[in-house]
Chain A
């Protein structure tokens, strides 16, 4: 009698611990995604200003500017899922990169105080986004590991937890931005 009671208690404690650890991992992912979202928004807010400052000069790159404006309005729509946000971020990052490269072809634009200031803010936000993405990826990895590894995988399948998607970190992001290169092109 007493032995079976002990076994039941041990199993129950074990189940509670597993349950709580899964919940805390799920919340950690949500928590960090909220921070990712904040910095992404910060970057989206800079886009109209950037487009306004460069569109006068960039006649040939009109399509990129239109694309990025479109991406921004998509991101600002309500009910955008986390997966969609991750996809949008990828597109915005590459569009912004193309704009920044294009800026280099216009000496007037490069010397423009406003553009320089924007470039600085964007680079700073890029660093923050990169940090937030890395933190999110780690939280997702911990979460995915927990729902795929024994014994938490049983509990996770009962709770209908599904693996989450991580941000792809491009190789160029792994390298540090070389400040000198940016200016001396």
Chain B
């Protein structure tokens, strides 16, 4: 697997002609998006007096029409960007990896991971990457899991359960139960004693498992079906590595161990690997968002040393 610096160089050097070409298209797309945006605003202003008492309807229509138009206008550009930038970047990380821009990790895997207790009504996603790194099978994609709500008037609305990267990989130890690691919200919000009490009385989860690494305990809360198995999986080294990984992701991190696999959900709160429209693709920050995120996600095998063969799985 390539290093981050090598990958950044690949982005700026090998992909440079593509980026320049795409950036011209981006300018055209940006112009069209702004034009249509202005057009919508104009219609809004003209119909303002008409909708004065129903501003929520106006806002709702704006969001729906705006989102549809944006998607329509950027469709070709997005497709080209993924084929010409994201796909080569993934091959550059490891040539054995496969990429399917419209597929995602199967919804059943997301549900069975047991990370989120709320049952989603809709699971969407894209940018599916799969393959083996050092003989360890890994798959990952963008996932957007939503729940449908209906109010008394019968109007439906959607709330997001999770949006971000979802990674599934083989794990190097044998186990039967389920262990889930979640960001520690209760202890951070209510302090140690009350937070701990709340955590141990979470009816949606298995037993609370207190870990013997204070830093890890501060950052995460662990639930599991077996006190000993959870500690067998989470030895001191893996706790340290997960803490390191959490620092690198800079986002909420959820991990679970079920069916001899590790499931990782990183809550970015947005669809990743989508092309920038209002900023140039040559911008360092924009570039790093693609390069770094891909490197981090695919690098999880090396980062957590999932490729380290252990006794039980020799």
Residue numbers of A with Cβ under 8 A of B are 32, 35, 120-121, 123-124, 127-128, 130-132, 134-135, 137-139, 142, 174-176, 179
Contact = CB atoms under 8 A, between A and B. Distances in A.
B25 to A, nearest CB: 50
A174 B227 contact: no
A121 B314 CA distance: 11
B309 A139 contact: no
Interface of A is mostly: helix
Contacts of A175: 236-237
Contacts, number: 48
A132 B233 CA distance: 11
Given A127-B235, A179-B308, A179-B309, A135 B314 contact: no
B68 interface: no
Contacts of B229: 131
Contacts of B231: 130-132, 134-135
Contact of A174 (B210, B230, B236, B311): B236
Contacts of B311: 120-121, 123-124, 127
State the 7 A-B residue pairs at the shortest beta-carbon distance, nearest first.
A176-B237, A131-B232, A131-B231, A124-B311, A135-B227, A135-B228, A120-B311
Given A120-B311, A138-B227, A139-B227, A127 B232 contact: yes
Contacts of B309: 179
A128 B227 contact: no
A128 B232 CA distance: 6
Nearest to A116: B314
B271 interface: no
Nearest to A121: B311
B312 interface: yes
B212 A137 contact: yes
B64 to A, nearest CB: 52
A35 B237 CA distance: 23
Contacts of B310: 124, 127, 179
B9 to A, nearest CB: 30
A32 B236 contact: no
Nearest to B312: A124
Nearest to B231: A131
Contact of A131 (B210, B235, B237): B235
A135 B211 CA distance: 9
A174 B227 CA distance: 18
Contacts of A176: 235-237
Given A123-B311, A124-B312, A128-B228, 10 more contacts: A124-B310, A127-B235, A127-B312, A130-B235, A131-B235, A135-B228, A135-B231, A138-B212, A175-B237, A179-B308
A128 B227 CA distance: 12
Contacts of B312: 124, 127
A166 B230 CA distance: 19
A179 B231 CA distance: 19
Contacts of B232: 127-128, 131
A134 to B, nearest CB: 5
Interface in B200-245: 210, 212, 227-232, 235-237
Contacts of B212: 134, 137-138
A117 to B, nearest CB: 10
